Amino acid sequence: MGRRSATHRTRDRFHLRPARVADGSPPHPCRPAAGDLRQSDDLDKSTLTPAQFYERLRIDPHHPKTSQPTPADFVRTYEFLLKYCRSIVSIHISAKLSGTVQSARRAAENLGADITVVDSKSASIGLGLVVLVAAETLAAGADASSVARRARETADTVHVYLCPRTIAYLVKGGRIGRVSGAIGRILGVTPIFELYRTGEIRVVRKLYRGMHVRNAFAGLMTDGLRRAADRRVLVAGSDDPELAQWLRSAARSVRPDADIVVENISPVIGTHVGPGTAGVAFVDS
């Protein structure tokens, strides 16, 4: 066997991390189960593209449910990686949203190896931003403790806004009760969600019929980007490239120096917010 590298990183499969860190970062399957694909490896991103997932989401009468990897899943991946590296930094979806971090930590404790599990306190593009910063820190020659420290620092300041096109998928997934959902549809309510610091999702603003949703979301986004402490920005439109490019242009208008990456909303979050959701992730001040 060749010389082992010093550090490796793992991350959740479905945050759709930017392509620039696509090499050297093996995924862990925090995957949705949809209809007859329940618990199937067909939902692995390598075989089911985000576009295919969102198409299924639109037409499949069985709404997906998400499932987290088990400690045994992590043990298998960690054991494989430890053949090629001495240290692992494992970055995952917020512990307030999933038991993935707990599973990873149990596996790390059982193995007793040099494995650091980082709670990103975020999800989807927010998690992707934490991984991007960690990957760039590693590429610059940092050791495992420095990579983990930088990931935690970013997790403490990464700010995510999400705005669904409709609340229908929130109702289908049980995130909003059917009665509240019916009232919301009558009133034309569109919530804007925030993920910041606590690792929990909260409603930061409610828009009503007649209000320009895109402009309202862009306003929140641009206000945030004006105070952003880092040039890295991720924008996303779930299965809506035109929306993503519109957000990119809006972000560029206030931060021409920004390093903007266009991504998709991960299916695990997309299961609940649906296609056409606008998203932005940045490092707040």
Residue 248 pLDDT exceeds 90 = yes
Cα–Cα distance measured from residue 265 to residue 80, given in angstroms and rounded to the nearest whole number = 29
Residue 266 pLDDT exceeds 70 = yes
Please tell me whether residues 232 and 125 are part of one structural domain.
Answer: no
Please tell me whether residues 117 and 231 are part of one structural domain.
Answer: no
More confident residue, 201 or 168: 201
DSSP class of 231: S
Residue 148 pLDDT class (50, 70, 90 cuts): very high
The pLDDT value given to residue 12: 53
Enclosing domain of residue 39? 5-153
The pLDDT value given to residue 28: 53
Please tell me whether residues 202 and 137 are part of one structural domain.
Answer: no
Cα–Cα distance measured from residue 26 to residue 11, given in angstroms and rounded to the nearest whole number = 7
Residue (of 226, 223, 217) closest to 273 by Cα position: 217
Residue (of 60, 69, 14) closest to 39 by Cα position: 69
Q: Which of 153, 179, 203 is the last residue of a domain?
A: 153
Please tell me whether residues 17 and 145 are part of one structural domain.
Answer: yes
Please tell me whether residues 142 and 177 are part of one structural domain.
Answer: no
More confident residue, 125 or 3: 125
Tens of pLDDT along 24-53? 555 554 443 333 333 333 334 445 777 888
**What is the number of domains present in the chain?**
2
The pLDDT value given to residue 208: 84
The pLDDT value given to residue 9: 57
CATH of residue 64: 3.40.50.10170
Q: Which of 136, 153, 170 is the last residue of a domain?
A: 153
The pLDDT value given to residue 239: 87
CATH of residue 176: 3.30.1180.10
More confident residue, 227 or 30: 227
Here the tokens at position 22 are 């696509």
Tens of pLDDT along 69-99? 899 999 999 999 999 999 999 999 999 988 9
Q: Which of 107, 128, 153 is the last residue of a domain?
A: 153
Please tell me whether residues 69 and 209 are part of one structural domain.
Answer: no
Residue (of 108, 106, 107, 120) closest to 12 by Cα position: 120
Helices (H), 4-116: 50-59, 71-81, 100-111
Average pLDDT, the chain: 82
